[in-house]
Amino acid sequence: MTLATCSADGPWAAPVLYALQPGPELVFMSRLSTRHVRDLLACPRVAAAIHPDQTRPLRGVQLEGTARPLAGREAVRAVRVYLQRFPSARGRFPLWPAVRGTGQIRLFALRPERAYVLSEEDFGWGVRRQVPLDALPQAPP
């Protein structure tokens, strides 16, 4: 997923690996020192784009919402979902400081407020349609 943030320094976009959890929320991990984390801590309004590697036919999902750091029980649930999607991440970062919210690597959740689908096959080139949030895929509880 490409995560877009903004600050007084201007807009910024960064790739992050994400996992879907109930809500729906998209959880991701990042270092506190990254520009996108500094931005979202100062202004939690974010946007994101998810799209396949293939450029044709043009398709993807665009989101607007808020991002927030997770700690405690929320972080435990999020790290389980994240490691289930990315088992190779196990052992690559200090787990308990991330869960407690005390380490340099933290867990974050993006809660969509608006979602759009872009599908060249269904709607034509460059046309997107807003979808209700309850139409977004739901992760199992």
Q: Where are the domains of the chain?
A: 2-129
Q: Phi then psi for 18, rounded to 5 degrees?
A: -130, 160
Alpha carbon 79 to chain centroid distance? 13
Q: What confidence tier does 80 reach under pLDDT thresholds 50, 70, 90? A: very high
- Joined tokens for residue 20: 């879907």
Task: Report the pLDDT averaged over residues 84-100.
Answer: 89
CA-based Rg of the chain, rounded to a whole angstrom?
A: 15
What is the identity of the amino acid at 34?
T
Mean pLDDT of the chain: 91
pLDDT at 11 over 90: yes
133 secondary structure, DSSP code: G
DSSP letter assigned to residue 83: H
pLDDT at 136: 76
Residue 124, pLDDT score: 85
CATH number for the domain formed by residue range(s) 2-129: 2.30.110.10
Euclidean distance between CA atoms 127 and 122, whole angstroms:
9
